[in-house]
């Protein structure tokens, strides 16, 4: 049988790491092939090799039966390989049209032929029901829309082998359903789809076959219909994973955070929070559920001093911190796991070690007056690397060398390692593998069991349901539901998330 893509005995080393160790990976035309594996397993590296971003140290690549050497993405594109990257690569200040045609621009008398470009885009967008507005600027788009632009860009370049690296990590459930519909349509046209994800439910829902990687090697190739979540998890992390979270009964203490009648606006100046009130107590995990884009991002930003409240107040242990700087809040004991790790979470040019002590390097025991204690810094950061299982040969490497999920673990290690009094965690397990999710969930519960407060904002309903002692639902900038954890079903929560049901303000306990 001939394959659309056939990668044989691919080996790729980075200093100190064999990212791909003699990997064989084959994809048929017309198939959706899931590529899964723990953080740092080598998935992105393998796909970067296919896309010409990295040259393998050894091994062979065949595209549609022809042996090829892929020197750069340009050549990959010519061979019909398209890639939607784990971290988007669009230019925010350009329009959708300009981004799509970038590098393959139709011209007339040396000017961009905007009409022709627009027509080509509209044709593809209609053919695949990829709804986009070619004139919109990319910075105005939601992540779901950006994703569609990335796919459109690949299709515009003629991709019939399409690689998607964790495309659903940032999508809402509706956007994911939409994406799956598009991918099925592409596969029906005999295109080959390579789909990287950590969400095993999605693997089972969308793929035909699954290749599993661990530690640079392929550990399994299975037909999707013959497998299940347990088996995939075992192949990925090499042991059984407990999907259920064990939690002891809650012992709530005094109030640590009180938010009263909070209002703010989004980047476009439109109301994003409308009179939000609630409290978090010590020894309690308060989960905020909601479809992304309903004010959760702005809420977390206001609570961390990254966005101004236009009205209302935030009190921390009885002190008004509504106007306090981000650093001041940190010093008071609030820590923050931001949802967008690349924008707010890590400095890619700094080393892993520097990133781990970013908030604390100037305080004892890491520093004494103006002197840094480099030994202590190293000791502390090495202990975090070990505890949070950040996969790297040494913490002296730049953070940019980490795999996507390990960057997320780096942020978690920094923010949770210091035993914060109040943890504000936005999408804490986004992009991390099933084994790491299990560990992170245990850490969050232990923090709460030691009597600290946690505000958990997550688009993963499973995560909210299994961790929260109390669940708030946000819809269009308001809290529309307030439940005791464990007392509400997923379906019921879904109705509140979609705005079909809502509670009266008097039913919302903390208002």
Ligand X SMILES: Nc1ncnc2c1ncn2[C@@H]1O[C@H](COP(=O)(O)OP(=O)(O)OP(=O)(O)O)[C@@H](O)[C@H]1O
Q: Which residue of this chain has its Cβ atom nearest to ligand X in the complex?
A: 405
- Compare residues 44 and 125 and give the one whose CB is closer to Mg ion: 44
* Residues β-bridged to residue 217: 214
Q: C-beta of 180: minimal distance to ligand X in Å? A: 20
Q: C-beta of 94: minimal distance to ligand X in Å? A: 26
- Compare residues 125 and 211 and give the one whose CB is closer to Mg ion: 211
Distances (CA, A) of 179 to 172, 199, 309: 10, 14, 35
Question: Where do contacts with ligand X occur on this chain (CB under 6 A)?
Answer: 14, 17, 19, 37, 39-45, 86, 391-392, 401-406
- Compare residues 355 and 403 and give the one whose CB is closer to Mg ion: 403
Q: C-beta of 120: minimal distance to ligand X in Å? A: 32
Look up residue 27 and give its two tokens: 């994809």
- Compare residues 214 and 448 and give the one whose CB is closer to ligand X: 214
**Pick from ligand X, Mg ion, none: which does 41 bind, CB < 5 to 8 A by kind?**
ligand X
Q: C-beta of 491: minimal distance to ligand X in Å? A: 31
- Compare residues 18 and 204 and give the one whose CB is closer to ligand X: 18
Asked if 60 and 70 touch (Cβ cutoff 8 Å), the reply is: no
CA-to-CA distance for 371 and 376, rounded, in angstroms?
12
Question: Where do contacts with Mg ion occur on this chain (CB under 5 A)?
Answer: 44, 86, 403-404
Those residues whose C-beta lies under 8 Å from the C-beta of residue 171, and which sit 6 or more positions away, are 143, 144, 147, 179
Distances (CA, A) of 432 to 215, 245, 435: 15, 17, 8
If one counts every other C-beta atom within 10 angstroms of the C-beta of residue 36, the result is 27
Residue entry with tokens 């991002």: 297
**Pick from Mg ion, ligand X, none: which does 19 bind, CB < 5 to 8 A by kind?**
ligand X
Q: C-beta of 249: minimal distance to ligand X in Å? A: 35
- Compare residues 82 and 404 and give the one whose CB is closer to Mg ion: 404
Q: Where are the beta strands (DSSP E) in 43-178?
A: 58-63, 66-68, 81-84, 107-108, 111-112, 161-165
Q: C-beta of 76: minimal distance to ligand X in Å? A: 17
CA-to-CA distance for 268 and 387, rounded, in angstroms?
41
Burial letters 221-247, b for 16+ CB under 10 A, else e: ebebeebeeeebbbbbbeeebeeebeb
Asked if 341 and 399 touch (Cβ cutoff 8 Å), the reply is: no
Q: C-beta of 451: minimal distance to ligand X in Å? A: 32
Q: How much is the CA Rg of the chain, to the nearest whole Å? A: 24
Torsion of CA 445, 339, 128, 136, to 10 degrees: 160
Burial letters 13-30, b for 16+ CB under 10 A, else e: eeeebbbbbebebbbbbe
Nearest residue to 298 (alpha-carbon basis) of 290, 288, 306? 306
- Compare residues 82 and 404 and give the one whose CB is closer to ligand X: 404
**Pick from Mg ion, ligand X, none: which does 303 bind, CB < 5 to 8 A by kind?**
none
- Compare residues 431 and 477 and give the one whose CB is closer to ligand X: 431
- Compare residues 35 and 459 and give the one whose CB is closer to Mg ion: 35
User: DSSP letter at 344?
Assistant: I
């Amino acid at each position: 049988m001939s394959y659309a893509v056939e990668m044989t005995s691919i080996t790729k080393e980075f200093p100190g790491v064999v990212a791909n160790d003699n990997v064989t990976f084959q994809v048929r035309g017309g198939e959706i092939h899931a590529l899964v594996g723990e953080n740092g397993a080598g998935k992105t590296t393998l796909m970067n090799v296919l896309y010409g971003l990295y040259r393998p140290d050894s091994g062979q690549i065949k595209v549609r039966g022809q042996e090829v050497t892929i020197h750069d993405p340009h050549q990959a594109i010519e061979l019909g390989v398209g890639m939607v990257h784990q971290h988007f690569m669009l230019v925010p200040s350009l329009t959708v049209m300009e981004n799509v045609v970038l590098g393959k621009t139709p011209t007339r008398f040396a000017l961009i032929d905007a009409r022709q470009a627009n027509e080509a885009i509209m044709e593809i967008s209609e053919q695949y029901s990829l709804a986009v507005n070619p004139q919109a600027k990319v910075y105005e788009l939601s992540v779901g829309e950006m994703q569609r632009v990335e796919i459109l860009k690949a299709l515009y370049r003629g991709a019939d082998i399409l690689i998607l690296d964790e495309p659903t990590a940032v999508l809402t459930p509706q956007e994911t359903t939409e994406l799956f519909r598009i991918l099925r349509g592409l596969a029906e046209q005999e295109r080959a789809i390579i789909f990287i994800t950590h969400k095993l439910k999605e693997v089972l829902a969308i793929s035909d076959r699954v290749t599993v990687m661990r530690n640079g090697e392929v550990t399994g190739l299975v037909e999707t219909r013959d497998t299940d979540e347990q088996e995939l998890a075992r192949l990925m992390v090499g042991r059984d994973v407990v999907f259920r979270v064990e939690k002891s009964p809650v012992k709530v203490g005094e109030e640590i955070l009180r938010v009263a009648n909070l209002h703010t606006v989004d980047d476009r100046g439109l109301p994003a929070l409308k009179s939000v009130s609630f409290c978090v107590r010590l020894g309690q995990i308060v989960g905020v559920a909601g479809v992304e884009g309903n004010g959760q991002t702005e809420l977390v930003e206001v609570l961390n001093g990254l966005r101004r409240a236009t009205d209302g107040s935030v009190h921390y242990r009885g002190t008004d911190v509504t106007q306090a700087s981000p650093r001041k809040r940190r010093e008071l004991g609030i820590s923050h796991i931001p949802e967008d790790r690349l924008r707010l979470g890590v400095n890619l040019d700094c080393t892993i070690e520097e990133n781990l002590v970013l908030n604390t390097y100037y305080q004892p025991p890491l520093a004494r007056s103006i002197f840094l204690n480099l030994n202590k810094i190293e000791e502390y950061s090495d202990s975090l690397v070990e505890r949070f299982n950040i996969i790297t040969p040494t913490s002296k490497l730049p953070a940019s060398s980490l795999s996507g999920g390990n960057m997320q673990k780096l942020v978690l290690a920094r923010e949770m390692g210091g035993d914060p009094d109040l943890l504000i965690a936005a999408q804490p397990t986004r992009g991390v593998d099933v084994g790491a999710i299990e560990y992170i969930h245990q850490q969050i519960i232990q923090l709460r069991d030691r009597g600290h407060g946690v505000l958990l904002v997550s688009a993963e309903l499973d995560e909210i349901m299994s961790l929260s002692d109390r669940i708030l639902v946000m819809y269009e900038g308001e809290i529309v539901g307030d439940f005791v954890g464990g007392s509400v079903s997923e379906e019921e929560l879904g109705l509140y998330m979609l705005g079909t049901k809502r509670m009266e303000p008097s039913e919302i306990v903390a208002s």
